[in-house]
Amino acid sequence: MSTLALQQARSEEWALTSRNLATICLLLVCACAIAEQFVTSGWLSSVAGASLLIFVVLQWPGISLTYRIFSILAPALAVGLWLGGMIDGPAIAAGVDRAAFFTLFLTSLAVLRESAKSSSLVRKCGKVLVHQPPARRYMLMAFGSHLFSVMLNIGALNVLGTMVHRAIRPTADPEAQRIAAIRSRRMLTATLRGFCGVPLWAPTTVTMLLVLSGIPQLSWEQYAPLGLLWALLFMLWGGVLDWLAYPRPRTRATFGGNLTQLVPLVGLVALIPGLAYGLSRLTGLDLFPTLLMCAPIIGLIWIWQQYRGRSTGVKAGLLLRRMKNSFPQTFTNQRNEVVLFTSSGFIGVILIPLIDPAAASALLTQANVSNATLMVGISLAMLICSFIGINAIITVTLMLGALQQIPDLDISPLVQASVISITWAVFAGASPFTASLRFISSFSGISPLRFGVLWNGWFSASVLAIMYLTLYLVL
């Protein structure tokens, strides 16, 4: 064997070893986060923090420059504030616990996405949605995208976007090209809006993770009914605008596939919070962490079911092989997200003690800022930051942390959560810096900025206008 081949073999072997060790570190952090739900111990925070640091070191070559800055900034800021006497050990431990919980969130849902991406049910439902007749295609695409996104997150845009692209066949006839362009625009817009509605309620989104972490007095089961209402109105309003923009042609009715094929997918989406709710009632744990514990179990059962028709021994072998081969790659491919989530969560927690509640309250009083103006200001700040490329995780973490420090704040947690989630849903479909808009625009042949402003801009602006008007009427 040549020296070059030997070096390449050693490099591949180290890459595999590094990936496996990094996976073990992630799982150890998740175990600490789960244990924290039952007991509170300083050593759990220490183990989680050390494991996260080792994970970053092992995955350093694959971490992007921007996220490397975050991974250095977070511990450096903590050390500087601690040496300056501005924060203490418990504050740093609380930051590590928040980072560990965010790691559990990413890792648990990665198992669910890994299960969904190989499911024939997902592909079959996608085909049914794309081939519906025009009269009902928009709403079904929006609701279907919504269901897909609960489990697949941004992967839902890939599944449906690819199917839309394949369904639009090129032709030389100008009129056919015009109709195909309209069909593509409507389906892709519906797909994006369905995806953007997920942060309004779904416990599998980072939005709900940040909202529930930033508003400790609010639980998911308290907010979920209201969030589901916002999601329903969000998608229905999109349907109204689509109906006004594209009058229904008088064409012969066509059959686009049996919609009953969507029932198992709806049941699966309902199973996730349903099972978590039942277990939370039995164990007394909060619903959100219980859901994160249930998600990997549901994902593994889903993979097991995909091997139906084979003997138990064969299915067990296939499942174990997939866990060994695919899961480490799935987990470590999220290295940038892990660094961003954990660093942002950690920084948000350790900076909160620096906020002077009395000074913040006095500033709002002197400025004569009403509750409605305060919430509108927070929403606009989120939007501005999203359009200049500042990650929303940092913005929301700091803003919610500052809000909770204001004494005598008489804004309902439900209102706070609603404003944050609705604003997030809007800029996810408007800002060219969001991954969702960049992803879906790649199937349209136009730039993310044009897609967000020209194709989806009126919808986004109208949603914000309705929310701001409602805030001034209610608060």
For residue range 116-141, list pLDDT tens digits in order.
878 888 878 888 887 777 768 889 89
Residue ranges of alpha helices (H) inside 333-430 are 335-351, 357-366, 371-387, 392-405, 413-428
Closest CA to 468 of 364, 366, 371, 365: 371
Residue 415 above 90 pLDDT? yes
Q: How many helices (H) and strands (E) does the chain have?
A: 21, 0
Instruction: Give tens-digit pLDDT for 351-401.
Output: 888 877 777 777 777 778 889 999 999 999 999 999 988 878 888 988 888
Residue 4 above 70 pLDDT? no
For the segment 5-15, the average pLDDT, to the nearest whole number, is: 68
Contacts of 348 (CB under 8 A, 6+ apart): 98, 214, 394, 397, 398, 401
Instruction: Give tens-digit pLDDT for 98-112.
Output: 999 999 999 998 888
Q: Which two tokens stand for residue 353?
A: 């003690």
For the segment 221-237, the average pLDDT, to the nearest whole number, is: 95
Residue 257, phi-psi category: left (phi > 0), alpha (psi -120 to 50), beta (remainder): left
Contacts of 33 (CB under 8 A, 6+ apart): 48, 97, 100, 101, 103, 104, 289
Q: Which two tokens stand for residue 148?
A: 């897909």
Angle (nearest 5°) at CA 223 between 217 and 229: 160
Contact 432, 450 (CB under 8 A): no
**What is the SS3 assignment for 169?**
coil
Instruction: Give tens-digit pLDDT for 139-198.
Output: 989 998 998 898 878 778 877 887 887 777 666 677 777 878 888 899 999 999 999 999
Instruction: Give tens-digit pLDDT for 19-54.
Output: 999 999 999 999 999 999 888 778 899 999 999 999
Contact 397, 345 (CB under 8 A): yes
pLDDT value at position 248?
A: 63
Provide the residue type at 464 as one letter. Answer: L
Instruction: Give tens-digit pLDDT for 321-355.
Output: 998 888 999 899 999 989 988 998 898 888 888 87
Residues in the chain: 475
Q: How many CB atoms lie within 10 A of CB 412?
A: 13
Instruction: Give tens-digit pLDDT for 303-320.
Output: 999 888 888 888 899 999
Residue 7 above 70 pLDDT? no
Question: What Rg, from alpha-carbon coordinates, does the chain have?
Answer: 24
pLDDT band at 265 (very low <50, low <70, confident <90, very high): confident
Residue 251 above 60 pLDDT? no
Residue 254 above 60 pLDDT? no
Contact 456, 237 (CB under 8 A): no
Instruction: Tell me the whole-structure pTM to 2 decimals.
Output: 0.85
For the segment 429-458, the average pLDDT, to the nearest whole number, is: 89
pLDDT value at position 408?
A: 75
Residue 438 above 80 pLDDT? yes
End-to-end Cα spacing for the chain: 75
Residue 3 above 90 pLDDT? no
CA dist list (Å): 111 to 100, 114, 152, 167: 17, 5, 10, 30
Mean pLDDT of the chain: 87
| Phi then psi dihedrals of residue 253, to 5 deg | -60, 140
